[in-house]
Amino acid sequence: DPNEDTEWNDILRHFGILPPKEKKQDETEEMVLHSQKEAEGKMNLEELKEAEDDFDEADRKAIEMYRQQRLQEWKRLQRMQKYGELREISGEQYVKEVTNAPEDVWVIIHLYRSSIPMCLLVNEHLSLLARKFPEVKFLKAIVNSCIQNYYDRCLPTILVYKTGEIKGRFIGTAECGGIYLKVEELEWKLAEVGAIETDLEENPQKSIMNIMTLAVQNISAHEDTNTKSSDVMKPRIT
């Protein structure tokens, strides 16, 4: 608990890994009592500064690595306050929200029409992924507000941006994964272009393909067996 008053947390605050603990007025009395206990046996800041000189290179590297990890966590939390949902934008907002997005932010935008069932399915999946990957900006826009006279056969269209450039694109039902698309399959596709860091260990479609391959092999083997059985049952003509 970063708010707990422990010797370890004091060390982390000293090195800037944890922010200074905020004191509330209703905690004043408790803090005074706690300070008295600390004075009896815990290391004070002056002793901490003296102990810093005794840290070897390995200690400093470990502290620096931990500090970097905490910084990354703080950045992730800050982004969670900005993203974490699939937001609707208009064509007028495209440049600001997509092309001019911060350089360190991946942007995934879905161009859709609500009259196309596959587009609605993709929106459902992207909403789930937006909550799972809050550091990524997930957007959707009605295609007519961005591109006039866009062909329905090209929908859904998913575009992946980084630093104002397109890093990946999925155009049409087939490229997006088909009408039976699962959220894990879409997650894998986005991970392949680098937009998200998935915890999936392998392509979900791989297992489906393996099942289909085994089914075809079983059918073929069954047909071969039937053929051989039929040949055995045929009367020999002499």
Number of domains in the chain: 1
Neighbours of 156 (CB within 10 A): 26
Confidence of residue 186 (pLDDT cuts 50, 70, 90): very high
Token readout for 81 is: 């306050």
Residue 21 lies in a domain: no
Residue 129 lies in a domain: yes
Distance between CA atoms of residues 11 and 4, nearest Å: 12
Q: What is the DSSP string of 212-225?
A: HHHHHHHHHHHHHH
Judge whether 119 and 155 are in contact, CB under 8 Å. Answer: yes
Residue 232 lies in a domain: no
Confidence of residue 35 (pLDDT cuts 50, 70, 90): low
> What local confidence, expressed as pLDDT, does residue 43 receive?
47
100: CATH = 3.40.30.10
Residue 131 lies in a domain: yes
> In the predicted model, what is the mean pLDDT of residues 10-34?
59
Domain region containing 114: 87-193
Q: Which position has the higher pLDDT, 40 or 132?
A: 132
Residue 187 lies in a domain: yes
Token readout for 121 is: 């399915």
What's this model's pTM, rounded to 2 decimal places?
0.58
Judge whether 154 and 144 are in contact, CB under 8 Å. Answer: no
Q: Which position has the higher pLDDT, 15 or 36?
A: 15
Judge whether 133 and 186 are in contact, CB under 8 Å. Answer: no
Residue 18 lies in a domain: no
Of how many residues is the chain composed?
238
> pLDDT by residue (tens digit) across 132-167?
999 899 999 999 999 999 999 999 999 999 999 999
